Chain A
């Protein structure tokens, strides 16, 4: 599993270590600025200080680990990955712009299928739409739970 790195230095581990320090600093700063004090016992800041210290210690641990050979992550298919990411942001964007649940979900379905190498756009869109409409009808009509409305939803 563990392949020795070419240099004796593992960059991802270093980055994670630095990120942990950053989170610890944010948490520490947040705790320092808390203004509601507990009348008795411990305040809400105690847990923040504890977690900040914990994160900082782990950050140190990562700095040490960075100078030892670590696991090299394998090459990723970033293009396929971006299709899914695009689909996910498409979903959020569609809901944000009020395009409704059905359109948003269909978009996500099509983009994800594309990411996995499918090119039959119309067929995938049809499957995604049928799935989304089914879910929408189940929630809105049977369970009376409002999913985001858009032009397609108003047809039902």
Chain B
């Protein structure tokens, strides 16, 4: 009950005209910068941090909330329209979203992403307001063995992004895992596959890989077929709004995506990518039209986008209650708090209730503003596809390389970007799926360090993975998911034989 009173007080703070203006500026800036590929919410917030220096803590944090959520929204726009995910959590969105956009359904794809993000953020922010203390107790109990179990489940579900051939899908995944090895191992300091190049010591940047494979690979692929097929994406076919069918196919994925994204986002090492993978798999399995997956199924946009945004609110749970920055964005947010000598942590809710609840309330407001801003923009964004093809792809390449140049202006990084571009081109040409590479790069190092931390704590005894109920159950689920299809097939064959 106390929470509710505080929350209402928070709304009173956030609804002050000046604070509304700050929220609006934040939302606009966040969307504008977040739309640029390769510039995810973390860099957006880091870059815009100085802008907030001059404001009072309340106003600045409110603007922050706007930038944060705005950056999250922006990332999906380019993923859908241009097959150029701006950040790793939008990779899955690009799978179905871009297929929809190519078929003239970019409007509904953007709309379901925007409304899904709104619904997810709304529910997740409610969760943040009322469940945070409870959730965080569970989250810190999550040991490395539990993370390893979660990674195994994620690995098994990745097969949903494989496309037609398991051999080619697994090869893509293996390339991602291989890229994930590169760099200094965090646990021991051992260098792997860096060949003495210092720029490789920190490993392959996920955004560089994603932008290279998707944006540059796509441009190379299109140009190689341009004169022959002269295919042009269809900007609009039918209504740019969601049809009744779109709505009825979207609302359940929104809820399910939120249910996956929020708790996993709240885990100290959960992140935003894993829930998007899991959501995609889940929607594919549950969809009434699974055959549409791969050619633009709206569920495949609605679910992952909701999961992505819910996990963003989930990240705030450990940040506000423990002072635990669990993502790059949260780390930058922490710096934002610290510039006012506020230490997020167990005492923040007690010491500065007005500020914290003002922030939570402004998250709600930023969310509403984003919806109001983005829905009318859908029509405008879709027109991007009407830009003549030469300029469109020239622009995509300029923006894609700019993202890398801005984040890390080194020639080596640019050459990596180009290399990944060629890889993406070749993979498209020979029909290898792209997404598993990114998945492998993200999950590989996580699974590696979770397993090794577990074994380090047990002094090398692998039984530790089965001694903890959480990890034992998750490993069980993963094994079942891996074996079940074969079992069913065997069973079906068996029955056939009986007939």
Contact = CB atoms under 8 A, between A and B. Distances in A.
A141 interface: no
Contacts of B228: 74-75, 77
B431 interface: yes
Interface in A37-53: 37-38, 40-48, 51
Interface stretch (B1-9, B113-121, B132-140, B389-397): B389-397
Contacts of A112: 219, 223, 390, 393-394, 397
Nearest to A47: B448
A92 interface: yes
A31, A83, A115, A135 pick with most chain B CB within 10 angstroms: A115
A141 B405 CA distance: 16
B350 interface: no
A41 B452 contact: yes
B401 A38 contact: no
B227 A84 contact: no
B191 to A, nearest CB: 8
A73 B118 CA distance: 42
A13 to B, nearest CB: 8
A101 B224 contact: no
A38 B406 contact: no
A148 B409 contact: yes
Given A77-B227, A91-B401, A105-B401, A58 B171 contact: yes
Most buried by A among B177, B394, B399, B418: B394
Contacts of A71: 430-431
B456 A41 contact: yes
Interface string A39-81: 0111111111001001100100110010000010111111011
A80 B224 contact: yes
Contacts of A145: 47, 406
Contact of A76 (B389, B429, B448): B429
Contacts of A31: 192
Interface of B is mostly: helix
Given A96-B411, A143-B48, A144-B50, A77 B223 contact: yes
Nearest to A58: B171
Interface residues of B, number: 61
A84 B411 CA distance: 18
B415 interface: yes
A119 to B, nearest CB: 10
A101 B405 contact: yes
Contacts of A95: 405, 409, 411, 414
A147 interface: yes
B197 interface: no
A55 B167 CA distance: 11
A89 interface: yes
Interface string A102-139: 00010011101101111000001001100110010001
A61 B165 CA distance: 12
A47 B148 CA distance: 14
24 contacts: A12-B430, A16-B171, A23-B178, A30-B192, A36-B190, A41-B452, A55-B178, A71-B430, A76-B429, A77-B224, A81-B223, A85-B220, A89-B418, A91-B401, A92-B414, A105-B401, A112-B219, A112-B397, A116-B394, A124-B391, A135-B398, A143-B33, A144-B47, A147-B406
Interface of B: 33, 47-48, 50-51, 167, 170-171, 174, 177-178, 181, 185, 187-190, 192-193, 216, 219-220, 223-228, 389-391, 393-395, 397-399, 401-402, 405-406, 409, 411, 414-415, 418, 421, 429-431, 444, 448, 451-452, 454-460
Given A45-B190, A76-B429, A115-B223, 6 more contacts: A12-B430, A41-B457, A91-B414, A108-B401, A116-B389, A116-B394
